[in-house]
Amino acid sequence: MSTAVPPTTHPDRPDAASWGAEPYTASRGADPGAASWGTDSDADSWGTGQHAWGADPYADALRSGRGPLFLRRSDGWLLPLEVERWCARADAADLSALRRCTGSVLDIGCGPGRLVAALAAQGRRTLGIDVSAAAVARTTAIGGTALHCSVFNSLPGEGTWDTALLLDGNIGIGGDPRALLARTAELVAPHGLLIVETTPADVDEQVRVRVEGGDHPRPGVPRTPGDLFPWARVGAPALLRYAAATGWIPAEQWTAAHPAGQAPAVAQPGQSPAVPQSPGAERCFVSLSRPAVPGRRG
C-alpha cells in the first residue's frame, strides 16, 4: 500500500520483471576510479560501528550467505538480521523502492549488494558504500560498484546524487537519525530523493548493540564479545519528525509484503529470536525529497 503525503493510499504493484529479473551474470567489480575517491581512517569516530560490522561474525555470515546473526542490546534484547534475504536477489518489496529511484543512486550501507547489482543491471549509475570489506567484496562480485567507507567519509559526487537509499534498517547507522538525515542531505542534489525503510512499529529508540552470531564458532577460534556501537530504530512518525528538522520534505509512504508474508520479530530476553511475525507482515518505506536551492539549477 502506498501513501502520498498528505496521506492517500493505493495498492503497490511493482513490476518485478522490469527490475533485475535476470540472474546476476555481470562481473563489473569496483569502478576503476573508485580507489581514487579515497576514504577517511577515522570513520568510527562517527559511531558507525565500522569495526564491529567489518569483523566476525558479520563478515563470516556475508561470505557464507546465511545466518543466524543478530543485534544484541546489553539487556538481552535481540534483533534478527536477515542475512539470507540480503544475500539473495532483490525481492518484490525491494523492487517497490527501486522503481521509484531516479537518476544516479547512492546505496548507503549497501551490505552484500543486491540493490546495487539490480540497479546496475539496468544501466543506472549506482554506487554502494559500506563499512564492511566483506560486504563490498560481495557487492563487486555480483556486478556492482562499491566503496569500503562510512557515509560520514568524504564521498564522490557529494551534492549531486539523484537518489539515496537507506533500506534494511540503515536509518539506524550511527545511532542518530537526525545526524544521518542531515549528512544525507549533503549528498543528494536539490530536488533529489531519499528512500528510507522504517520499522512497522511506531518506535523511536537509540541503543547500543553488538553483532552476535549463532552458537557454533569456528573450530579453534575463541568467541569474544563484539564491540558495542550506537544504533537506532525508527518508525515512520519518528522519521518524519527528524526529516522536518533536517530540511527533507515528505513525498510518499507505502508498504510492501515481506517475503513469504513473514518478518523477523524482535525478541526480548528469554524469548527465541527465531520466531517470525504473523503472516501479512509488511515492510514500510518513506520517500523524502530535497527542496530546490534558490538560484541554483538542477
More confident residue, 149 or 48: 149
What domain range includes position 148? 44-216+225-289
pLDDT band at 18 (very low <50, low <70, confident <90, very high): very low
- pLDDT score at 294: 63
Count how many Cα atoms sit within 13 Å of the Cα of residue 228 in the half-sphere of its side chain: 8
Confidence of residue 236 (pLDDT cuts 50, 70, 90): very high
So what's the pLDDT on residue 224? 59
Q: Is residue 53 part of a domain?
A: yes
Q: Mean pLDDT of all residues in the chain?
A: 79
pLDDT at res. 297: 52
CA dist 110 and 51 (Å) reads: 16
Distance CA 196, CA 160 (A): 18
More confident residue, 259 or 247: 247
Q: Within a domain: residue 3?
A: no
Lowest mean pLDDT among 56-70, 135-149, 192-206: 56-70
Q: What is the pLDDT of residue 260?
A: 58
pLDDT on residue 220: 58
Q: What is the pLDDT at residue 1?
A: 57
C-alpha cell read off for 256: 510492501
Does any domain span residue 182?
yes
The secondary element (H helix, E strand) that includes residue 208 is strand 204-213
Q: Decide: 127 and 115 in contact? Cβ < 8 Å.
A: no
pLDDT range class, residue 214, cuts 50, 70, 90 = confident
Position 191 in a domain: yes
Instruction: Tell me the CATH number at 60.
Output: 3.40.50.150
Answer whether residue 31 is part of any domain. Answer: no
The pLDDT assigned to 9 comes to: 31
What is the average pLDDT across 202-231?
A: 78
Number of structural domains found in the chain: 1
Please report the pLDDT score of residue 31 as a whole number.
36
Q: Is residue 132 exposed (0-12), middle (13-18) or buried (19+ Cβ within 10 Å)? A: buried
- The answer on pLDDT for 16 being more than 70 is no
Residue 11 lies in a domain: no
- Among candidate residues 131, 155, 168, the one with its CA nearest the CA of residue 54: 131
Evaluate whether residue 18 is within a structural domain. no
Whether 266 is covered by a domain: the verdict is: yes
Global confidence as pTM: 0.77
The mean pLDDT value for 122-133 works out to 96
